[in-house]
A and B are shown apart, each in its own frame.
Chain A
Amino acid sequence: MQHELPVPHGLVRPGAVSLRGVEIAYGSFRVLDRLDLEVAQSEFLVLLGPSGCGKSTLLNAVAGLTEVDAGEIWVGGRNVTWKEPKDRGIAMVFQSYTLYPRMTVRGNMSFGLQVAGIARAEIQRRVREAAAMLRIEDLLDRKPAELSGGQRQRVAIGRALVREAAVCLFDEPLSNLDAQLRTELRTEIKRLHVRLGATMIFVTHDQIEALTLADRIAVMRDRRIQQLGTPTEIYTRPVSRFVATFVGCPAMGFIAGHLVEGRRFKADGLDLSLDGYQALGEMAAGRPVDLGIRPEHITLAPGHPEAIEAPLELVEPMGSDLLAWVRLGTVSLAMRLPAETPLSLGDRLPVMLPASRFNLFDAASGLRI
């Protein structure tokens, strides 16, 4: 065990979380591989990734529910690597609600505080405030079995709030809810974050949740963080084809081809200029690449000299706008257009693919070029 460094008064940040070289293995199966992550005080960080990539493991390590094999975990300037969950200054909400079924809502929210020896009046104040914030005052005397899924998850959030912890951890808290409740509670969690200023680490496999909630998103895949950045960075400049596909709905469209001399991209029946594309490295001619572009970045440009005539194959109305599938060379790409755009199948649409919106990925490694 390691001594805690004395932190100068005034510099203590009760909500900052930092993972330093954290490794976790189940037997010989390594789930996290020398992982580093800094979460700032009051930040809303979302861990996004497909299921099985190690998100829960990472969150449980911060909570102290899973022991690390190597590395350190710091919360609020203290090394908590070997501290019990209750002593880490964290609270947690789980996917499956995990309410104590035989206790009332009030009992669920206050039991932990009672055990911690907190005064009765203080417990009552905290329960009252949390219940008011989550609008569950009327439910305090009910048992979990008498509540709907959305109400149960509110209670679970309430149970976390009464701990008044500087860090709140969420492990897919919305995935068991139906779509409407999910959006509702999502907004509510964001509101709580603004109001409480607590640091929040939120695990999800739902990219919409990630984009709407996060100050920063950490996209995880196969035991490591592939990209860490603001939702805008993740959305507009994904570092890999994996991130590009995982984030965004409807998904980014891809054209397989290769780079040619004079900063151009060539594919079957297509030859596009790459002028305006901000490349990360050199663009060697002949290199096989995947060109990705999001549906809303393809535009109609009647009369423009660079416009490509593309036949319309399919229209998917989506309420406020629509998806028009057009054929470019050998691939179908979706473009997002206003719902009132007059279209009929078989039209040849003059489409523009702006190079500044391209995402080029190496065909072999999948990494951004």
Chain B
Amino acid sequence: MSLTASRMLPNNNFVGLRQYATLIDNGRWQVSVVNLALFGVLFLAASLVLGFILAALIDQRVRAESLLRSVFLYPFSMSFIVIGLAWRWLLDPTLGIEKLLHDIGLTGAHFDWLIRPDRVIFTLVLTAVWHASGLVMAIMLAGLRGIDREIWNAARVDGISTWRTLVFIVAPMLRGSFATAFVLLATSVVRLYDLSVATTNGGPGIASELPAKFVMDYLFDRGNIGLAAAAAAAATTMLATVAMVVAPWFYWQTRRSRQAGMA
């Protein structure tokens, strides 16, 4: 399909790799791929770190446990659409936080992140991180609770501070949990269509365009089936490449942590 000149309807005019050449030259496609890469890296790193920190806080029995749970765990039960719309509303300068701050006299405050092209992708990352870190927190918490309390005691007698114990002793023991969370998050990066549609609809301009949205737009709105198929194939290839790197790593990690677990 991606090797044909199909527009509204599929046809069989063979055009070789021309659709792929068009795709690579398409500025909008370039933006969407860069966005995906940027989004993916930032989102994965931030969610894993934040989720781990939250889980560690709860594991150390901070008082705000139920608050943390509700602020971070419940978002995960909502779809990206709801989250996206909520943030769109919160960050709309004429409706949300900015209006609120202006109303109480803070006229210097700017919450225009969703309408500034250079910020919008980071705002999407923020939204998605908030959405996902609850899940990471739950996975990490299960891992943390499985760690022998006496390890903490041993580290305390050794004079190793809580954060050092977390970073140098406990986190390395949770490789399996990190890998699980990583794979789950990675799949949600690929599904990112709905968040960008609901929050910004790719805008302002094409600043928050993403490959999945690109495919959908060309397929339905613009009636360019050939280019959409090429884009879909390209996205799938990227995904497959990532999967080919991640899957063996994941397998290796779980095997290692199982061995360590038996230890």
Give residues of chain A (103-120) contacting chain B, Cβ–Cβ below 8 Å. 103, 111-112, 115-116
**CB contact under 8 A between A86 and B153, given known A98-B148, A145-B260:** no
The answer to whether A65 touches B158, judged by C-beta atoms less than 8 angstroms apart, is: no
The answer to whether B168 touches A98, judged by C-beta atoms less than 8 angstroms apart, is: no
The answer to whether A94 touches B263, judged by C-beta atoms less than 8 angstroms apart, is: no
**Is B102 an interface residue, CB under 8 A from the partner?**
no
A residues within 8 A CB of B150? 94-96, 98
**Is B151 an interface residue, CB under 8 A from the partner?**
yes
Residue of chain B at shortest CB distance from A149: B263
- Please measure, in the bound complex, the distance between the C-alpha atom of A339 and the C-alpha atom of B259, giving whole angstroms: 47
The answer to whether A63 touches B263, judged by C-beta atoms less than 8 angstroms apart, is: no
* Most chain A C-beta atoms within 10 Å of own C-beta, residue among B156, B168, B263: B263
The answer to whether B157 touches A90, judged by C-beta atoms less than 8 angstroms apart, is: yes
A residues within 8 A CB of B260? 101-102, 145
Nearest Cβ on chain A to B260's Cβ, whole angstroms: 5
- Please measure, in the bound complex, the distance between the C-alpha atom of A26 and the C-alpha atom of B152, giving whole angstroms: 19
**Is B34 an interface residue, CB under 8 A from the partner?**
no
Give residues of chain A (63-101) contacting chain B, Cβ–Cβ below 8 Å. 63-65, 84-86, 90-92, 94-96, 98, 100-101
A159 is contacted by which of B156, B158, B164 (Cβ under 8 Å)? B158
**CB contact under 8 A between A65 and B263, given known A101-B173, A115-B158:** no
The answer to whether A102 touches B172, judged by C-beta atoms less than 8 angstroms apart, is: yes
A102 is contacted by which of B164, B169, B259, B262 (Cβ under 8 Å)? B169
B153 is contacted by which of A94, A103, A112, A163 (Cβ under 8 Å)? A94
- Please measure, in the bound complex, the distance between the C-alpha atom of A94 and the C-alpha atom of B155, giving whole angstroms: 11
Nearest Cβ on chain A to B169's Cβ, whole angstroms: 5
The answer to whether A111 touches B173, judged by C-beta atoms less than 8 angstroms apart, is: no
A residues within 8 A CB of B148? 96, 98
B169 is contacted by which of A91, A95, A100, A156 (Cβ under 8 Å)? A100
* Most chain A C-beta atoms within 10 Å of own C-beta, residue among B160, B161, B259, B262: B160
**Is B78 an interface residue, CB under 8 A from the partner?**
no
**Is A245 an interface residue, CB under 8 A from the partner?**
no
B residues within 8 A CB of A144? 263
B residues within 8 A CB of A94? 150, 153-154
Residue of chain B at shortest CB distance from A102: B172
**Is A60 an interface residue, CB under 8 A from the partner?**
yes
How many pairs, one residue from A and one from B, have CB atoms within 8 Å of each other in the complex? 67
> Interface residues of B toward A: which range?
20 to 34
Nearest Cβ on chain A to B35's Cβ, whole angstroms: 36
A residues within 8 A CB of B259? 145
**Is B159 an interface residue, CB under 8 A from the partner?**
yes
Nearest Cβ on chain B to A60's Cβ, whole angstroms: 7
The answer to whether A145 touches B263, judged by C-beta atoms less than 8 angstroms apart, is: yes
Residues of A bordering B, CB below 8 Å: 60, 63-65, 84-86, 90-92, 94-96, 98, 100-103, 111-112, 115-116, 144-145, 156, 159, 163
A residues within 8 A CB of B160? 111-112, 115
Residue of chain A at shortest CB distance from B262: A145
A111 is contacted by which of B151, B158, B263 (Cβ under 8 Å)? B158
**CB contact under 8 A between A86 and B263, given known A94-B150, A102-B169:** no
- Please measure, in the bound complex, the distance between the C-alpha atom of A86 and the C-alpha atom of B155, giving whole angstroms: 9
Nearest Cβ on chain A to B254's Cβ, whole angstroms: 15
Residue of chain A at shortest CB distance from B161: A115
Nearest Cβ on chain B to A64's Cβ, whole angstroms: 8
The answer to whether B169 touches A65, judged by C-beta atoms less than 8 angstroms apart, is: no
- Please measure, in the bound complex, the distance between the C-alpha atom of A294 and the C-alpha atom of B151, giving whole angstroms: 42
* Most chain B C-beta atoms within 10 Å of own C-beta, residue among A84, A86, A100: A100
- Please measure, in the bound complex, the distance between the C-alpha atom of A115 and the C-alpha atom of B154, giving whole angstroms: 14
- Please measure, in the bound complex, the distance between the C-alpha atom of A105 and the C-alpha atom of B157, giving whole angstroms: 17
- Please measure, in the bound complex, the distance between the C-alpha atom of A201 and the C-alpha atom of B168, giving whole angstroms: 30
Nearest Cβ on chain B to A230's Cβ, whole angstroms: 29
**Sample of 18 further A-B pairs with CB below 8 A, known A98-B154, A101-B263:** A64-B156, A65-B156, A84-B156, A86-B159, A90-B157, A94-B153, A98-B150, A100-B151, A100-B155, A101-B173, A101-B260, A102-B172, A112-B155, A145-B259, A145-B262, A145-B263, A156-B154, A159-B158
- Please measure, in the bound complex, the distance between the C-alpha atom of A98 and the C-alpha atom of B263, giving whole angstroms: 11
A residues within 8 A CB of B159? 84-86, 112, 115-116
The answer to whether A91 touches B164, judged by C-beta atoms less than 8 angstroms apart, is: no
- Please measure, in the bound complex, the distance between the C-alpha atom of A156 and the C-alpha atom of B168, giving whole angstroms: 18
A residues within 8 A CB of B155? 100, 112
Nearest Cβ on chain B to A83's Cβ, whole angstroms: 12
Nearest Cβ on chain B to A156's Cβ, whole angstroms: 8
B residues within 8 A CB of A159? 154, 158
B residues within 8 A CB of A112? 155, 158-160
The answer to whether B263 touches A92, judged by C-beta atoms less than 8 angstroms apart, is: no
Give residues of chain B (220-247) contacting chain A, Cβ–Cβ below 8 Å. none
Residue of chain B at shortest CB distance from A65: B153
- Please measure, in the bound complex, the distance between the C-alpha atom of A145 and the C-alpha atom of B255, giving whole angstroms: 13
